[in-house]
Amino acid sequence: MNKLIRIGTRGSKLALWQAEHIAGLIKPSGYRTEIVPIETRGDKILDVSISKIGSKGVFTEEIEAGLLNGTIDIAVHSAKDLASEIPDELELVAFTEREQANDVIVSYRKDINLAKDKLKIGTSATRRVAFLKHFYPHVEAATIRGNLQTRFAKLEAGEYDALLLAYAGVYRMGFEHLIVEKIETSYFVPAVGQGSIAIECHKKLSFDKKEILERWVNHPETEHCIRAERAFLRTLQGGCSIPAFGYAHTEGNMITLKGGIISLDGQQIVKAKHSAPPADFKALGERVGDEVLINGGSTILSDIKSYASTT
Ligand SMILES: NCc1[nH]cc(CCC(=O)O)c1CC(=O)O
């Protein structure tokens, strides 16, 4: 029997950390693993903002090609980086237990006060820029690109006072000691999928390998939450470049999903929140998404699309 699982991944340090983490979870099953690094468009183009490259699949397309042509068995992604729709032949089989989902401020300065200081904060996700404009209008949101190591190097060189990043990546890359503030998810709502690692495979991957992934890698509670978040994002027909946010968590035996969208200038926020049993994740996500669209979200989205097509 073929007991080797070939793991496709981007080559960045964070991506390799994630792939090693998955290999570590699979190890006690008795299956062997092999890590296959694959370069993506998003890794090659570093000088243009993601929203201008055309966001859909910039970090995933080449890896998905490996699944389709059979050079790898599974692909490991930050769940956040996955487009809301994946190719028909592929499926998501597992989601790892979610790390703390919140965003953090990191800095080499210890005296930083986000609520008061006129800081220059390096960040690029449209959601973070818009939230900064909304909640902290006195700070300057400055564009930054590159992998986490590059961003920290720019921070250390003094190009920014601080960076705004996902806790999960900061922690995984060993920069936790530079965190000066953890931002609450209750108002600075994370991106869909933030903090979890998703496993994608061909629908035709062998039954045995799928079973290994479900048993050793998947965290069912996280899975239901992220599937609800992704159903929400699909309803908005948005990828990771729109300033949408979505975060589900379990309360007792229900999951609660908060989702919404914020205008690029931070002026308007439309959000909705509902709860449902975990098995109803899809209906929950769609309900939150529909409510957001009806209550002004569709206007915000069409404004963003017309802005994107003129810049
Ligand atoms: N967009 C890049 C990216 N993709 C996943 C993470 C961190 C890990 C995660 O959020 O799951 C990051 C860096 C960041 O957003 O700060």
Residue spans per domain, the chain: 1-96+196-218, 103-182, 219-311
Is 195 close to ligand 1, i.e. is its CB under 6 Å away? yes
Q: How far is the centre of ligand 1, averaged over its atoms, from the C-alpha of 80 (Å)? A: 7
- Which residue's alpha carbon is at the smallest distance from atom 11 of ligand 1? 195
pTM, full prediction = 0.94
Per cent of the chain over pLDDT 70 is 94
One of 3.30.160.40, 3.40.1190.20, 3.40.50.1000, 3.40.190.10 is the CATH number of 219-311, namely 3.30.160.40
One of 3.40.640.10, 3.40.50.880, 1.10.275.10, 3.40.190.10 is the CATH number of 1-96+196-218, namely 3.40.190.10
Of 163, 155, 157, 159, give the one whose Cα is nearest residue 180: 163
Same fold, 1-96+196-218 and 103-182: yes
Mean pLDDT of the region 225-250? 91
Q: Which residues are catalytic?
A: 81
Q: Provide the CATH number for the domain formed by 103-182 in this structure.
A: 3.40.190.10
Q: Which atom of ligand 1 is nearest to the CA of 240?
A: 1
Q: Report whether pLDDT(56) > 80.
A: no
- Two structure tokens written together for 34: 């092999």
Task: For 257-268, write each residue's pLDDT tens digit.
Answer: 999 999 999 999
Task: For 88-126, write each residue's pLDDT tens digit.
Answer: 999 999 999 999 999 999 999 999 999 999 999 999 899
Is 60 close to ligand 1, i.e. is its CB under 6 Å away? no
